[in-house]
Amino acid sequence: MKAQPRLFGADHSVYVRIARLCLIEKGIEHQLVPLDIFADGGPPADYLAKHPFGRIPAFEHEEFSLYETSAITRYIDEAFDGPQLQPVDPVRRARCNQLISIADNYAYPNLVWGVYVERISKPSRGVPTDEDKFFAALPKARNCLAAMSQLMRDAPWFVGEQLTLADLYAAPMFDYFLMTSERAELIRHHANLQEWWARMASRPSMAATKLS
C-alpha cells in the first residue's frame, strides 16, 4: 500500500487549511502532522530541512517533499485523481492564478493580519490592538474585497461554475475576517461575496477543517 501524503502544520493556520481543503476536496486520504511554528525557540531543526523559511505547511508524498502552498496545491491537483481544481481554459486559469495572488498579497495581510489578528486574536491573548495597523489595513481590506467581488461578478464560485483553488485560498481568510465586528460594514456592498460565503461555508471540507 502506498504511503499517504503528509502535511506538516497546525490546524489554526490559514495556509495549512488551504492545503487541507485541497486534499479533502480531491478526496485524498492524508495525515496532518502537528507542528507548532510559534514554539519557544522556533520550529524544530529537522523541520527546517523540510521548510528552510520555517513556515507552515510543508508536504511530503512518497519521496517527494514540497513547501509553498501554491506549489503544494497545484501538485495535489495535478498528481491525483478527483475533481479538477484549476480551469483548463487559459483565460479562466489566469483568473484563478490572479485571485490566488490577490489572496496571498492583499487578503492575507489585510483581512487576516490587519483586521482579524488586530481585532480578535491579539485581544484574546491580552495583547492590545495596534490601532495604527488596524486603521491602515481597513481601506486596504475594503479595496481587496471590492476587487475580488468585481472579478467574481455573478458566478457561484470565484472563477465561474466550478470550485477552484481560488475559492480554497479565499475561504480560510474569509472565515477569520468574518469573525470580526467590522465584517458587516466591509462586506455589505458585495452580495456576491456574501452568497459565495454561504455556499463555501456549507461544504463538508470547511466543516472538516473548522477549528473547534
Ligand X SMILES: N[C@@H](CCC(=O)N[C@@H](CS)C(=O)NCC(=O)O)C(=O)O
Binding site for ligand X (CB under 6 A): 13-15, 37, 54-56, 68-70
User: How many other CB atoms sit within 10 Å of the CB of residue 186?
Assistant: 20
Supply φ then ψ for residue 67, to 5 degrees. Answer: -135, 170
What's the one-letter identity of residue 30? H
Q: How far apart are CA 191 and CA 194, in angstroms?
A: 5
User: How many other CB atoms sit within 10 Å of the CB of residue 8?
Assistant: 23
| Closest distance to ligand X from the beta carbon of 75 (Å) | 13
| Closest distance to ligand X from the beta carbon of 15 (Å) | 4
Which triple of cell numbers denotes residue 84?
A: 479538477
| Closest distance to ligand X from the beta carbon of 167 (Å) | 16
| Closest distance to ligand X from the beta carbon of 19 (Å) | 8
Report DSSP state, residue 157: B
- Identity of the residue, 15 or 158, whose beta carbon is nearer to ligand X in the bound complex: 15
- Identity of the residue, 112 or 145, whose beta carbon is nearer to ligand X in the bound complex: 112
- Identity of the residue, 122 or 190, whose beta carbon is nearer to ligand X in the bound complex: 122
| Closest distance to ligand X from the beta carbon of 105 (Å) | 10
Distance, C-alpha 54 to centroid of its chain: 18
Supply φ then ψ for residue 185, to 5 degrees. Answer: -65, -40
- Identity of the residue, 5 or 149, whose beta carbon is nearer to ligand X in the bound complex: 5
User: What is residue 136's three-state secondary structure?
Assistant: helix
Cα angle value 148/115/117 (rounded, 5°):
125
- Identity of the residue, 114 or 149, whose beta carbon is nearer to ligand X in the bound complex: 114
Report DSSP state, residue 33: E
- Identity of the residue, 56 or 115, whose beta carbon is nearer to ligand X in the bound complex: 56
| Closest distance to ligand X from the beta carbon of 1 (Å) | 29
